Amino acid sequence: MIAIATSGRDGAGLDRVGQTALSGRSGSLAVGLVVVGLWLTPGFAAAGDALQVTNARVPASDEVGIDLPLVMTIRNDATEADAILRVRCPFANFAEKHTVDRGEGAPAMRAVKSIPIPENKTIELKRDGYHVMLLQTRQKLVDGETFTCAVVFQKAGTKETEVQVSRTP
Ligand SMILES: [Cu+2]
| More confident call, 16 vs 69 | 69
- Class at the top of the CATH hierarchy for domain 51-166: mainly beta
| More confident call, 147 vs 168 | 147
C-alpha 78 – ligand 1 centre gap (Å): 27
| More confident call, 168 vs 109 | 109
C-alpha 67 – ligand 1 centre gap (Å): 8
Phi, psi (deg, nearest 5) at residue 96: -120, 160
- pLDDT at res. 30: 52
DSSP string, 12-46: HHHHHHHHHHHHSTTHHHHHHHHHHHHHHSTTHHH
C-alpha 12 – ligand 1 centre gap (Å): 39
Domains of the chain, by residue range, sit at 1-41, 51-166
What is this structure's pTM? 0.71
C-alpha 128 – ligand 1 centre gap (Å): 8
Give per-residue pLDDT as tens, 11-28. 333 344 434 444 444 445
Please provide the average confidence, as pLDDT, over all residues in the chain: 81
DSSP string, 76-95: E-SSS-EEEEEEE-TTEEEE
C-alpha 45 – ligand 1 centre gap (Å): 31
